[in-house]
Amino acid sequence: MMNSEQHWPDSMTFWQDKRVIVTGGAGFLGSFVVDKLTERGAVEIVVPRTADYDLTQLEAVKQLFRDTSRKGQPVDTIIHLAARVGGIGANRANPATFFYDNLMMGAQLMHESYLRGVPKFVAIGTVCAYPKFAPVPFKEDDLWNGYPEETNAPYGLAKKMMLVQSQTYRQQYGYNSIFLLPVNLYGPGDNFDLETSHVIPALIRKCVEAQERGDDHIVAWGDGSPTREFLYAADAAEGILLAAERYNESLPVNIGSAFEISIKELLETIVELTGFKGEIRWDTSKPNGQPRRKLDTSRAKELFGFESQTSFAEGLQRTIDWYRGQGKPRFLQQPCGN
């Protein structure tokens, strides 16, 4: 199973004759994937929009394949990024919606890809699929050793079903699909909507807006003790494309930075970088989420040569600068990730 670097295809050559569907390609991570596919010379990149294709509906999935077929031939690769996503609050308020939408999108897309002969399916899972108390750093072999953290378990389990589907379809049909597990992402273009955003954009927005209003404090959820690993979105996109080019098995693979930081230290860093001078008040009536989250990223390096390139300090500063410059988010996560 182990690849050697000399056998890996050249990225530019690999994509030059490829037609690719990127679900969620108009979203946060998807925009970076589409940009990198364009740089690599992909001949056609299809980004289905929710208004045209509700991917939770089977007929819409079938219509997408009909619309993108050329002379009876399907696209060469599907990169499935589309998801209904959100932070702890959104997951707690809409557990059934998060479960159903993510389950139906993934299962139907992969099944139709198999039926129609799409040569490769790249399924994007989530670090939320890991057990709440998985040994740190999280190793892919520990994925099934416990139940996920309760606040986002429905979402994490729905996405993890694509791993089961990938492995069973490879076993029974010989279908070439892969399953990747990105850690928490951040970067320019992130979703800064406080109702649905993840922790970094939420904290950046709180600090910037509090500074602009002259507030004397901000409120953060929990007690700041949980730790998280974060990956710059452009690096994640590179990892996904390297896997698409070089990896052809159904073992799950982590995509991360191997850098761990506590939420308390994260917020203190954002406070310093944004220049907010007020007090941090922790609302301990709110949930902390999973206690620790850090990935073992050795499998990605071994199997397709991926290592993150952007330091956390550099990526965080770019994200803050982008948010200040934009004034509002450019890519909002909508249903189906578009």
Distance of alpha carbon 142 from alpha carbon 71, whole angstroms = 44
Rounded to 10 degrees, what is the CA torsion of 32, 275, 200, 338?
-40
pTM exceeds 0.95 for this model: no
**Residue appearing with tokens 């404090």:** 217
Higher pLDDT, 89 or 144: 144
Higher pLDDT, 193 or 267: 267
Out of 53, 114, 155, 169, pick the active-site residue.
155
Look at residue 85 and tell me whether its pLDDT is greater than 80.
no
- Which pLDDT band, with edges at 50, 70 and 90, does 332 fall under? very low
Using DSSP's 3-state secondary structure scheme, residue 281 falls into: strand
Q: What does the pLDDT read at residue 336?
A: 34
Q: What does the pLDDT read at residue 6?
A: 55
CATH homologous superfamily, domain 5-190+229-260+290-310+329-337: NAD(P)-binding Rossmann-like Domain (3.40.50.720)
Quote the longest CA-to-CA distance of the chain.
64
Q: Is 155 a catalytic residue?
A: yes
Residue-wise pLDDT tens digits, 58-68? 999 999 999 99
Q: What does the pLDDT read at residue 334?
A: 34
Domain ranges of the chain: 5-190+229-260+290-310+329-337
- Which pLDDT band, with edges at 50, 70 and 90, does 232 fall under? very high
Cα separations in angstroms, 177 against 17, 79, 118, 184? 20, 10, 10, 23
Distance of alpha carbon 161 from alpha carbon 151, whole angstroms = 18
pLDDT above 90 covers what percent of the chain?
82
Higher pLDDT, 284 or 85: 284
Q: What does the pLDDT read at residue 331?
A: 42
Distance of alpha carbon 17 from alpha carbon 77, whole angstroms = 11
